[in-house]
Structure 1
Amino acid sequence: MTPAKRTSYEGVVLAVPVTVPYQRFSIESAQWWLGRALRALAQSAGISHRQFDGFALASFTTAPDTAIGLTQHFGLSPRWLDHVPMGGVSGIISLRRAARAVQAGDASIVACVAGDTNHVDTFRRTLANFSRFAQDAVYPHGAGGANASFALIARNYMNRFGARREDFGKLCVTQRANALRNPNALMKKPLTLDQYMAARPVADPIHLFDCVMPCAGAEAFLVMREETAKSLGLSFARVLSTIERHHAFAEDDVQYRGGWAYDIGELYAMAGIQAGDVDLVQTYDDYPVISMMQFEDLGFCGKGEGPDFVRGHSFEIDGSFPHNTSGGQLSVGQAGAAGGHLGIVECMRQVMGIAGPTQVGRARIGLASGFGMINYDRGLSSGAVILAGESR
């Protein structure tokens, strides 16, 4: 069945990229972190938070609150509201839904906010209640959590396509180099390939530096029309195109491709560009194998060519293929659901020319992706957005 041609996002922009600096552990609630993000959005936009007439929330740790409860908590009165409990793809989905709401006139300024706390026991409790699949089929056997699942995916990918740990290590090492230029990154020490290779195993072939570090923090941005941004005197990034797909390629015994591959043609066609026109890429990087998979599925190389693509490029800020210029989750940290917004916020800063020490020299067009909701053998959700600076 041929998918319906979707309307472009012409006239929709993103503004006010916000990061609430991360902490490894926090005694504060998720609501506290989300509230700080909302305050930063309002202050940076120069308006009251009460002027946000749309609100999209992503978080794992607000229970028993949902987005509706937080409207009273934060003094919001939106006419458009969404709660997106989809982990690492929540940022893309929030952006897509907010953009359509703005186009339809259902909202004028949508605050897309994601954040989580990280108490000492938060991650264990989140893991135990992540999904019914995990509770019934995985967790009782001691294999609960992302490490075991991504070990399965990584080993399958390595066997199928000849990827080596050194290839994954190259991505981790270069992301750490990028993170050392990002004052918000939690990882402050350089990482060498020798250190990566010698790190203790977690779930073979996953070792210590393949794993994201849970932390507390928040990311946020505003979605509005271009004329609204200009009336407020705000710089912005244009939304050229987006895609979203769930439960793709169910026929694969173990995941080696994601939903991006279904819709990549539409992503570039709507944006009016080709993969080679993209100046920087922010992949969702909870584990490096997923970034390598995305290089293929996002059209930068063919399926199975990811290992050679990694060997043939440099991924630093000033490299041949600038990638996860903030350091990505692997070196910045994973603030729960905010991990799905991290790449979007960094991509915004890049094409807006305000990334500071992580700025890529020629950043006209950027791509950010999302990935999430892992069951034992695959992640169920994927998405991507292409952004451009004002002058395009």
Structure 2
Amino acid sequence: MTPTRTGYQGIVATVPVTIPYVRYSIHSAHWWLGKALGAMVRDAGVAKHDIDGLCVSSFTLAPDTAVGLTQHLGMSPRWLDHIPMGGASGVIALRRAARAVQAGDAGIVACVAGDTNHVDSFRHTVSQFSRFAQDAVYPYGAGGPNASFALLTKNYMRQTGATREDFGKLCVAQRDNALRFAHALMKKPLSLRQYLDARQITDPIHLFDCVMPCAGADAFLVMREEKAQALKLPFVRILSTIERHNAWAEDPMQFRGGWTMDRDAFYEHAGVGPGDIDFMQAYDDYPVINMMQIEDLGFCEKGAAPQFVRDHTFTIDGSFPFNTNGGQLSVGQAGAAGGYLGMVEAMRQLTDSAGATQVAKADIGLVSGFGMINYDRGICTAAALLARSAA
């Protein structure tokens, strides 16, 4: 019997921060994470010592963990979490932080993710990504996400009839959104013809299917609603969250994610359904995972995402606004910060601070995370439903 879940009443997320991404950086991950913390302190109007909880996600922080970072930043939190879960990290940080504040273990929690990107750091990260990568993939020449997602994409196309044009439509729409987002690294329009004609990377993956590694950081604060009100900070409410790890291990190859295990409880806990969602921010290192999330989170039947893509525009001012800042495919992937990119954008949407990417009448948003790819599957999935403040 599944126990009854406690809601998140009175706990809010606020002060979304993005430290503008750059393609390469000589700075350390510590520098990027510190810049994000400094920006939150300034934007929130609090002192650094007022932040007594800290969630950290980073691939290039090693050999430090969140513990070492506290010394580097001159902090002494009474609650600390290190979340090495890649694209699921943003939602999972929100979950952990909200429960810590709710339990009284911390008053203000800073959730911070960031990575640097030296000229050769991505190759090093890929080669050391996991024990599985070190022992079973990288030595055989299949290291890195391109080969894994080519495998997943080909399998998905075979099972659903999805075409490169379908994937391209998502990529083109996201680029259109990114052209309105100041921090996007991709500054040029993308046509479907350019997408289709781009050079092949690993069949059926081509250039614009692949996320571009970069350096940057994203962050937000979690606190009680009355604290946010006292600080005069705009905030968003947390309606529901889920996470699941190593789901459907019996599947020969990943065709569904852990969202399917908890989806009904996810919406029931929030008191809303897929039809109530005004926009979706999905983890998007490759377009195939976008389609998987659209299906697994209930916006269409399993295997029907190709038709769903054909039926919608995905642009900010069109039907089913999706990755409204352009997502990682057009903004860039700043390591673990990629798992926060959709979260901070959703918070901006729901506080009317998204600027040129603002979706009209956005009241409820869904943020979905996916992380830690191991050859033929990602083993971390998470999602959050966020809502505009009632005030």
Q: Do they superpose with TM above 0.5?
A: yes
For residue 70 of structure 1, report the CA deviation from its aligned partner.
1.1
Aligned residue identity for 1:163: A
Aligned residue identity for 2:245: H
Task: Output aligned runs, 1:115-134, within 5 Å.
Answer: 115-134=114-133
For residue 5 of structure 1, report the CA deviation from its aligned partner.
2.4
Aligned residue identity for 1:208: L
For residue 267 of structure 1, report the CA deviation from its aligned partner.
1.1
Percent identical residues: 68
Alignment-derived partner of residue 53 in structure 1: 52
The residue matched to 2:201 in structure 1 has which SS? strand
Deviation digits for residues 297-316 of structure 1 (CA, Å, limit 9, x no counterpart): 01100101110000001100
Aligned residue identity for 1:54: G
The residue matched to 2:220 in structure 1 has which SS? strand
User: Structure 2 CA distance, aligned partners of 1:210 and 1:62?
Assistant: 27
Aligned residue identity for 1:157: Y
Aligned residue identity for 1:374: I
For residue 50 of structure 1, report the CA deviation from its aligned partner.
1.3
For residue 11 of structure 1, report the CA deviation from its aligned partner.
1.1
> When the two structures are superposed, what TM-score results if normalisation uses the length of structure 2?
0.99
User: Structure 2 CA distance, aligned partners of 1:88 and 1:274?
Assistant: 24
Alignment-derived partner of residue 187 in structure 1: 186
User: Structure 2 CA distance, aligned partners of 1:155 and 1:64?
Assistant: 36
User: Structure 2 CA distance, aligned partners of 1:47 and 1:128?
Assistant: 40
**Residue ranges of structure 1 left out of the alignment (5+ in a row):** none
| Structure 2 residue 272 is the aligned partner of structure 1 residue 263 | no
Task: Output aligned runs, 1:105-144, within 5 Å.
Answer: 105-144=104-143
Structure 1 runs of 4+ off > 6 angstroms?
none
Aligned residue identity for 2:345: E
| Structure 2 residue 283 is the aligned partner of structure 1 residue 284 | yes
Deviation digits for residues 276-319 of structure 1 (CA, Å, limit 9, x no counterpart): 00000000000000000110001100101110000001100011
The residue matched to 1:352 in structure 2 has which SS? coil
The residue matched to 2:367 in structure 1 has which SS? strand
Aligned residue identity for 1:200: R
For residue 142 of structure 1, report the CA deviation from its aligned partner.
0.5
Alignment-derived partner of residue 254 in structure 1: 253
User: Structure 2 CA distance, aligned partners of 1:130 and 1:297?
Assistant: 26
User: Structure 1 CA distance, aligned partners of 2:264 and 2:349?
Assistant: 24
Aligned residues: 391
User: Structure 2 CA distance, aligned partners of 1:223 and 1:173?
Assistant: 34
User: Structure 1 CA distance, aligned partners of 2:2 and 2:190?
Assistant: 45
Deviation digits for residues 168-194 of structure 1 (CA, Å, limit 9, x no counterpart): 000000000000000100000000000
For residue 378 of structure 1, report the CA deviation from its aligned partner.
0.3
RMSD: 0.7
For residue 4 of structure 1, report the CA deviation from its aligned partner.
2.3
Alignment-derived partner of residue 340 in structure 1: 339
User: Structure 2 CA distance, aligned partners of 1:133 and 1:30?
Assistant: 24
For residue 250 of structure 1, report the CA deviation from its aligned partner.
1.2
> When the two structures are superposed, what TM-score results if normalisation uses the length of structure 1?
0.99
Alignment-derived partner of residue 326 in structure 1: 325
Deviation digits for residues 218-253 of structure 1 (CA, Å, limit 9, x no counterpart): 000000111111111111000010000001111211
Task: Output aligned runs, 1:91-110, within 5 Å.
Answer: 91-110=90-109
For residue 358 of structure 1, report the CA deviation from its aligned partner.
0.2
Aligned residue identity for 1:33: W
User: Structure 1 CA distance, aligned partners of 2:307 and 2:106?
Assistant: 45
